[in-house]
Amino acid sequence: MPENSEEARSEQDVAIDDAELIGLFAGHGIDRDSAAHFRGRLERRLVIHRCDDCAHWHHPPRPMCPACWSWNITPTEVSGRGTIHLLMTLHQGVPAPGVDYAAGHPVLTVELDEQSALRFTATATPDFPADQLEIGTRVELDWIDRDGTPTPAFRIGTGA
Ligand SMILES: [Zn+2]
């Protein structure tokens, strides 16, 4: 990992060390590339890797830009606005706090406004209108608390 990525990350770090971060998000497989994303979550900011050289966004976080192969990556906050691209409802799965599989747990892959094909997957807020939970619906990022950490969730969007 080049030095400049470390410098970029330091601007967004909250005051916890890597061990604490990994403990807070146990099971997420946090590594050097994804640490900034998860530190962003602690501040309720959706942070996604962006290339300094060609401005291409990519997620999940990798150390190199997949468009131009640059190592100059800056974790950058996105607006959280987008459109439901893919939608599924889970009726079974690994037990998780706040997840009710009996009622059907929605999982949304949202194409973010920042870039075509830049997608982020999360659940819906509990108050999401069931009749608007469909592909093409405009959504905005919100946050729910899960197991003591802020977790991204999408709410119904306001306007285009
Ligand atoms: Zn690039």
CB 62 within 8 A of CB 72: no
Same structural domain for residues 97 and 44? no
**Among 60, 77, 94, where does a domain finish?**
77
Q: CA-based angle 152:15:154, to the nearest 5?
A: 5
Say what the pLDDT of residue 14 is.
52
Same structural domain for residues 48 and 91? no
C-alpha of 147 from chain center: 17
* Domain hosting residue 97, numbered range: 82-156
Tokens 């410098």 label which residue?
7
- Model-level pTM? 0.86
Residues with CB under 5 A from ligand 1 (ion): 51, 53-54, 56, 65, 67-68, 70
Q: How far is the CA of 31 from the centre of ligand 1 (A)?
A: 21
Total count of domains within the chain: 2
Q: State the DSSP H helix or E strand holding residue 65, giving kind and residue range, or none if neither.
A: none
Same structural domain for residues 73 and 91? no
Same structural domain for residues 68 and 87? no
Q: What is the pLDDT along the chain (160 residues), one digit of tens a residue?
A: 444 444 444 444 557 899 999 999 988 889 999 999 999 999 999 999 999 999 999 999 999 999 999 999 999 999 999 999 999 999 999 888 888 999 899 999 999 999 999 999 999 999 999 999 999 999 999 999 988 899 999 999 986 5
| AA identity, residue 113 | D
Q: Which long-range contacts (CB under 8 A, 24 or more apart) does 87-92 make?
A: 87/133, 87/134, 87/135
